[in-house]
Amino acid sequence: MTKILVAFTFVGAVIALVFAALTAKKVMKFSEGTEKMKKIAASIRTGANAYLKRQYTIVSIFFGCMFVILCAMAAFKLLTWFVPFAFITGGFFSGLSGFVGMTIATRANSRTANACRDGLNKGLRCAFSAGSVMGFTVVGLGLLDISVWFFLLNFVFKLPIEEVTSAMLTFSMGASSMALFARVGGGIYTKAADVGADLVGKVEAGIPEDDPRNPAVIADNVGDNVGDVAGMGADLYESYVGSVISSSALGVVAFSTVQAVDGIRAVAIPMAMAAIGIIASIIGSFLVRTSEHAEQKALLKALGRGTNFSAILIAVVTFPLVWFVLGREYIGIYFSILSGLVAGVLIGRATEYFTSDTYKPTRNLAAMSKTGSATIVIGGVGLGMLSTAIPIIVVAICIMAAYGFAGGFGDTANAPNLGLYGIAIAAVGMLSTLGITLATDAYGPVADNAGGIAQMAGLEEDVRERTDALDSLGNTTAATGKGFAIGSAALTALALIASYVKKIPDELIDIRLMNPTVLVGLFIGACLPFVFAALTMNSVGRAAQSVVVEVRRQFKEIKGIMAGTTDPDYAKCVGLCTKASLKEMVMPTLIAIATPIVVGLVLGCNGVIGMLAGSTATGFLLAIFMSNSGGAWDNAKKYIENGNFGGKGSEAHKAAVVGDTVGDPFKDTSGPSINILIKLLSVVSIVFAGLIIKFHIF
């Protein structure tokens, strides 16, 4: 049966990749529009490809150094020789996911703009299809990597299942490392360009968003692709494989003492679930369509129809999967999966409520712009803080339910292990619809670029109205996607902490709260997300300053820009953003990797456990707060631009633009990077556990 499930997983991966290829072919059949639209799209594509080429060059140096370090550890028998190679493949596929997504996005932007000339539904189909390529490439490559490694290690090299899952955890480390570089670097790039373009162009010069007279407009559109597409693809690839692998590792522990069920079946369950999720997401993707002149509520309903159908289908099919693979005595694990699915939907709805201008929180925030930029900034911070309550309650209930349903509160010695497996597999349930969830997320940057191209190419006003409707919806779905990623990160991080604890000999574990090493580790871990957010925010600020100075210089020195008789020097701003982001992305990533090793060497295993607990708790809250604040500020600005409180060019609009620029690094740089941080800390701790056990000081 295990071989059948592994084969099914591989087939699911192939189906996802074939569907992505066919969808990409469908996108390419859309017309790219006028010659001017083609020229603008080519400039965006060239800038994005140039950035990724330089980023991957720098990242390859890091991966080469880590490969040498891991090989040295393998030579001293602190790791198996499979670990360095698993690390490389995890990073490679994570980067490849982002690259494929960005490639289709930079080809779909002008096609979406041109499709909107024919109608809103056609524009939605084009942008959503481009997002689907990204979504199904991520899940396809993720499952391909997992299934191939599992087949090689278990059936070819015939390693014990404990060593199989231990080695596979390492390519989660590779994926997390690549994702952090991509998210941080791309996030700094996109928000530096966005902030620079908005502050000087919209606020100071009073010209529209994406106006071709703005020297930073091409850099802004390039940034949407390298940050919100390539960075997001690498990020969610890492979330996806991390949840599957961590639950597999805990499944081995949970069923190691169960005679009726071997651990391999528990490993195969999350893999098969992910394959089922792919098929359900493909079916759900065909349900996404809308009517002309639809408001955002109708557009949200159109996307929700596809994701909700996929979730229901997964809920139905996983019941017999658990029943026949694990047996009816463990059917409670099915309800653990169900709790993850429900939690994901609830977190998505809560995020939608706080960030969509369809609901009161964002509309009330927009009203605060009438009294200036200070009040809308204060309101956005308050809204983001308040928005953390529902997700934390949902995740807390999900943890308790998943733990209890799986048998964690039983009176047997193995009960806690079963409960932890339930929590881990709940994260898989939450991410099982990732194919379509990511499609609804990734389409947003495509729609944003389409609006920019429509503006720069001078298309009809109704085309820009349609792209703005899609873009506004994209802000909400992007925030919802981040909510899924952050919620699953909390569950996956707990599972990874449990995996770390299982690698430590019992005699070395003393995680009482009054143990000073645990307390010190807890404080260090609680501080880490704030330090990390500060580093990334400051990086955006420094990079944005250079863009602001350059845009002001061009407006002042290059005659004819404002009159439209002379083209700005777009390449200068693209170069500034590229240079700044690549320089600034290194330090936050290195800190994330080095901290658990240093803490482990100084404080030992108990200090590391405290650090992981602290960073998971504060990181989850901070990530939700920053993502939702940023999303609400952005949609408050768009709500005003739709004619409310004076509309475009009003004092309220100028205040809202300031709020949006504050929120840009919140939602697209620091916030989404934190969920990678808390998982990367855990997997680095697991990989270097052998070193810590031998050489810690206290």
What CA–CA distance (Å, rounded) separates 253 from 242?
17
Give, as one character, the DSSP assignment of residue 509: -
Burial 277-310 (b: 16+ CB within 10 A, else e): bbbbbbebbebbebeeebebeebbebbbebbbbb
What CA–CA distance (Å, rounded) separates 359 from 343?
21
Is 521 a domain residue?
no
Three-class SS state of 294:
coil
Tell me phi and psi for residue 72, to 5 degrees.
Answer: -65, -40
User: How high is the pLDDT of residue 338?
Assistant: 95
User: How high is the pLDDT of residue 258?
Assistant: 66
119 CB burial (10 A radius; 0-12, 13-18, 19+): middle
Among candidates 588, 629, 596, 634, which has minimal Cα distance to 615?
Answer: 596
User: How high is the pLDDT of residue 279?
Assistant: 93
What CA–CA distance (Å, rounded) separates 328 from 326?
7
What CA–CA distance (Å, rounded) separates 610 from 144?
34
Is 649 a domain residue?
no
What CA–CA distance (Å, rounded) separates 217 from 194?
8
Q: Which helix (H) or strand (E) holds 691?
A: helix 689-695
Is 631 a domain residue?
no
Domain around 111: 2-501
Number of domains in the chain: 1
The CA-atom distances, in angstroms, between 143 and each of 18, 238, 251, 561 are 13, 11, 18, 50
In tens, the pLDDT along 205-251 reads 788 777 888 898 888 888 888 887 888 888 888 888 988 998 988 88
Name the packing angle between helices 161-197 and 586-641 (round to 10°).
50
Q: Are 132 and 169 in contact (CB under 8 A)?
A: no
What CA–CA distance (Å, rounded) separates 481 from 442?
9
Is 387 a domain residue?
yes
Cα angle 307-313-318, degrees, rounded to a multiple of 5: 125
Look up residue 439 and give its two tokens.
């499609």
Three-class SS state of 566:
coil
* Neighbour count for residue 469 (Cβ, 10 Å): 25
DSSP-derived secondary structure for 389-445: HHHHHHHHHHHHHHHHHTTTTSSSTTHHHHHHHHHHHHHHHHHTTHHHHHHHHHHHH
User: How high is the pLDDT of residue 294?
Assistant: 55
Q: Are 282 and 136 in contact (CB under 8 A)?
A: yes
User: How high is the pLDDT of residue 697?
Assistant: 65
Three-class SS state of 561:
coil
What CA–CA distance (Å, rounded) separates 501 from 562?
62
Cα angle 314-145-676, degrees, rounded to a multiple of 5: 75
* Neighbour count for residue 494 (Cβ, 10 Å): 25
Cβ neighbours for 162, distance < 8 A, ≥ 6 positions apart: 252, 256, 263
pLDDT < 70 stretches in the chain: 1, 257-262, 289-300, 475, 479, 697-698
User: How high is the pLDDT of residue 292?
Assistant: 56
Tokens 């960030």, residue?
A: 355
Is 306 a domain residue?
yes
User: How high is the pLDDT of residue 404?
Assistant: 96
Q: Are 588 and 529 in contact (CB under 8 A)?
A: no
Is 692 a domain residue?
no
User: How high is the pLDDT of residue 290?
Assistant: 62
User: How high is the pLDDT of residue 60?
Assistant: 94
What CA–CA distance (Å, rounded) separates 650 from 659?
14
What CA–CA distance (Å, rounded) separates 355 from 634?
8
Tell me phi and psi for residue 511, to 5 degrees.
Answer: -105, 35
pTM greater than 0.85 (yes/no): yes
What CA–CA distance (Å, rounded) separates 474 from 464?
15
Is 679 a domain residue?
no
Look up residue 278 and give its two tokens.
């792919």
Number of residues assigned to the chain: 698
Cα angle 318-137-151, degrees, rounded to a multiple of 5: 60
The stretches of 558-670 forming alpha helices (DSSP H) are 570-584, 586-641, 651-665
First to last CA, the chain: 47
Is 384 a domain residue?
yes
What CA–CA distance (Å, rounded) separates 280 from 283?
5
Q: Are 215 and 569 in contact (CB under 8 A)?
A: yes
Cβ neighbours for 680, distance < 8 A, ≥ 6 positions apart: 173, 176, 177, 180, 592, 593
